[in-house]
């Protein structure tokens, strides 16, 4: 057992990092903490008692937090994403202040906007390659944090971080292959295959798959700067606004925008279901807060699949197959905590 003791001016914190062998041998781990946190004694799952840090590094805002897990978060702050220097300096200041207050974090998890280099062995690990936020092109998110905070860092895309959060605490618990898609100013996709977060050559770009575009019924050309009418170019929030002249959240439920939108989403999901065979599909992001979209998407996906995928999940249990994130808006920040946990274990 690697136990620790942190003494601050106000309090004494203690905790243990449980030894897997001890768990396997059937020992009952007990936290020494003074905060009264419950500790699971199951062999598969045990709650970390180290304080962890999380960053949801988005293109428009950064969310930073420290805590132990969904029921025990100590602090959270959010601020707009400005220049890399200013934003990262503010992030580091936050964690230094939290360390003075609660004790040092044992590890940090970062879910970053991108495209971003997430290969730990790459010389450009942590660097943003392309971004509409031009000040961030070439900026490294990982390196300054590592240099300043000097703790293990789990670093991944924002979508994979949210997916990991759902796997650890939410709608993907117990699954080993699932997809998490987020719909907002863009469409991002991630998740796990065979129990591992999807990485590969760079990282999946599910939002940029090509889907059928009937230009007779939808003459809008699409707004992806790279592909025009890819999935994101046709179906992300800015495309809705450009096509209908109003932001999606202001359109009524019976507006034709949603019929078209759910057509596109069903096409995208059909491709992903046929290619990856996910055990569940989680749809998050601002747009998906409109719950009326889910029944339509489920019906259209079932129609598109046309009974070909012979699985109870899609034939009979679509309500539990295509679902919103259980963690809601907290998937990203709790995903960072889960990434930190992974960084600490490996
Ligand atoms: Zn595209």
**In sequence order, what are the residues at sequence separation of 6 or more whose Cβ sits closer than 8 angstroms to the Cβ of residue 170?**
325, 326, 327, 331, 334
70 CA → ligand 1 middle, Å: 34
Asked if pLDDT for residue 5 goes beyond 80, the answer is no
CA of 181 to the centre of ligand 1 (A): 15
187 Cα–ligand 1 center, Å: 9
Task: List the beta bridge partners of residue 190.
Answer: 180
323 CA distance to ligand 1 middle (Å): 25
Query: 325: CA distance to ligand 1 center in Å?
Result: 24
248, pLDDT greater than 50: yes
* CA 28 to ligand 1 center in whole angstroms: 51
Residue 14 pLDDT exceeds 70: no
Q: How many CB atoms lie within 10 A of CB 242?
A: 12
Range 143-153 average pLDDT? 97
The confidence band for 48, taking pLDDT boundaries of 50, 70 and 90, is low
Once rounded to an integer, what is the mean pLDDT over residues 4-23? 37
Which has the minimum average pLDDT: 5-19, 237-251, 329-343? 5-19
Residue 130 tokens read as 């392309």
Average pLDDT, the chain: 88
Give the residue-averaged pLDDT of 55-70.
95
Tell how far the Cα of 60 is from the centroid of ligand 1, in angstroms.
20
- Residue 224 alpha carbon to ligand 1 centre in Å: 5
Give pLDDT tens digits for 192-225: 999 999 999 988 999 999 999 999 999 999 999 9
Q: Is the dihedral of CA 307, 313, 316, 320 positive or negative?
A: negative
The alpha carbon of 234 and the centre of ligand 1 are apart by a number of angstroms equal to: 9
C-alpha span between 327 and 325 (Å, rounded):
5
The lowest-confidence range among 48-52, 88-92, 98-102 is 48-52
Residue 58: both structure tokens together: 């988005």
| pLDDT band for position 133 (cuts 50, 70, 90) | confident
Q: CB neighbours (10 Å) of residue 43? A: 11
Q: How far is the CA of 230 from the centre of ligand 1 (A)?
A: 5
Q: Please tell me what DSSP assigns to residue 207.
A: G
The pLDDT-based confidence of 130 (bands split at 50, 70, 90) is: confident
Q: What percentage of the chain exceeds 90 in pLDDT?
A: 80
Spell out the domains of the chain, with CATH numbers in brackets: 1-49 (no CATH), 52-163+330-345 (3.30.420.40), 171-324 (3.30.420.40)
What are phi and psi for residue 253, nearest 5 degrees? Answer: -60, -30
**pLDDT score for 33:** 35
Decide if pLDDT at 25 tops 50: no
Q: Which of 73, 78, 75 is nearest to 91 (CA)?
A: 78
The rounded Å distance from CA 209 to ligand 1 centre is 7
Ligand 1 center to 210 CA (angstroms): 8
Ligand 1 center–CA 220 separation, angstroms: 15
Q: What is the dihedral of CA 324, 325, 327, 332, to 10 degrees?
A: -140
With cut-offs at 50, 70 and 90, classify the pLDDT of residue 41. very low
Query: What is d(CA 79, CA 316) in angstroms, rounded to the nearest whole number?
Result: 43
Give, as one character, the DSSP assignment of residue 155. E
Average pLDDT over residues 241-263: 97
Distance 44 CA to ligand 1 centre (A): 40
Q: What distance in angstroms lies between residue 168's CA and the mean position of ligand 1's atoms?
A: 30
Strand partners, 116: 128
Q: How far is the CA of 256 from the centre of ligand 1 (A)?
A: 24
Average confidence (pLDDT) over 138-143? 96
Ligand 1 centre and the CA of 132: distance in Å?
13
Rounded average pLDDT over 249-268? 97
The model's confidence at residue 134, banded by pLDDT at 50, 70 and 90, is confident
The per-residue pLDDT for range 168-201, each reduced to its tens digit, is: 999 999 999 999 999 999 999 999 999 999 999 9
Q: Give the DSSP H or E segment for 179.
A: strand 178-183
Å from CA of 223 to ligand 1 middle: 8
> What's the whole-model pTM score?
0.84
Q: At what angle do helices 84-102 and 142-149 cross, to 10 degrees?
A: 30
Q: Give the residue-averaged pLDDT of 312-330.
A: 95
Nearest to 98 by CA among 162, 18, 6: 6
- For the chain, the straight-line distance linking the first and the last C-alpha, in angstroms and rounded, comes to 16
What pLDDT does residue 6 have?
38
Alpha carbon of 115 to ligand 1 centroid (Å) = 12
Q: What is the Å distance from ligand 1's center to 206 Cα?
A: 9
- 149 CA to centre of ligand 1 in angstroms: 36
The predicted model gives 266-288 an average pLDDT of: 97
In angstroms, what is the span from residue 150 Cα to ligand 1's centroid? Answer: 37
Lowest mean pLDDT among 25-29, 261-265, 318-322, 330-334: 25-29
Strands 280-284 and 322-323: parallel
Task: Give which of 195, 197, 191, 228 is closest to 213, Cα–Cα.
Answer: 228
Task: Return d(Cα 293, Cα 291) in angstroms, integer.
Answer: 5
Arithmetic mean of pLDDT, 50-72: 95
Query: At residue 316, does pLDDT exceed 80?
Result: yes
Q: What are the structure tokens assigned to 125, written together?
A: 């690990």
| d(C-alpha 290, C-alpha 242), whole Å | 19
Task: Residue count of the chain, please give it.
Answer: 346
């Amino acid at each position: 057992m690697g136990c620790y003791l942190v003494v601050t001016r106000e309090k004494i914190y203690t905790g243990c990092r449980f030894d897997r062998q001890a768990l396997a041998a059937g020992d009952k781990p007990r936290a020494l903490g003074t905060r009264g946190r419950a500790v699971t004694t199951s062999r598969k799952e045990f709650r970390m008692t180290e304080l962890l840090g999380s960053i949801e590094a988005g293109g428009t805002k950064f969310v930073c937090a420290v805590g132990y897990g969904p029921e025990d978060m100590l602090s959270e702050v959010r601020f707009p994403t400005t220049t890399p220097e200013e934003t990262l300096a503010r992030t580091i200041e936050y964690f230094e202040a939290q360390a003075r207050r609660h004790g040092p974090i044992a590890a940090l998890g970062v879910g970053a906007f991108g495209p971003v280099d997430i290969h730990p062995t790459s010389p450009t690990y942590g660097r943003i390659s392309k971004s509409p936020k031009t000040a961030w092109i070439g900026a490294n998110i990982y390196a300054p944090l590592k240099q300043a905070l000097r703790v293990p860092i789990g670093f991944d895309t924002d979508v994979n971080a949210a997916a990991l959060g759902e796997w650890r605490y939410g709608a993907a618990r117990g699954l080993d292959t699932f997809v998490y898609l987020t719909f907002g100013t863009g469409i991002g996709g991630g998740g796990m295959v065979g129990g591992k977060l999807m990485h590969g050559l760079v990282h999946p770009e599910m939002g940029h798959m090509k889907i059928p575009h009937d230009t007779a019924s939808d003459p809008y050309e699409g707004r992806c700067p790279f592909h025009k009418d890819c999935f994101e170019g046709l179906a992300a929030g800015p495309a809705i606004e450009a096509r209908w002249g109003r932001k999606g959240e202001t359109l009524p439920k019976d507006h034709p925008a949603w019929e078209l939108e759910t057509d596109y989403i069903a096409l995208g999901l059909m491709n992903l279901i046929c290619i990856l065979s996910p055990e569940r599909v989680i749809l998050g992001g601002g747009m998906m807060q409109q719950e009326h979209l889910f029944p339509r998407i489920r019906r259209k996906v079932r129609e598109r699949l046309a009974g070909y995928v012979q699985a109870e999940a899609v034939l009979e249990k679509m309500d539990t197959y295509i679902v919103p994130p259980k963690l809601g808006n907290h998937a990203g920040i709790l995903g960072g905590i889960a990434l930190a946990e992974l960084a600490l274990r490996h």
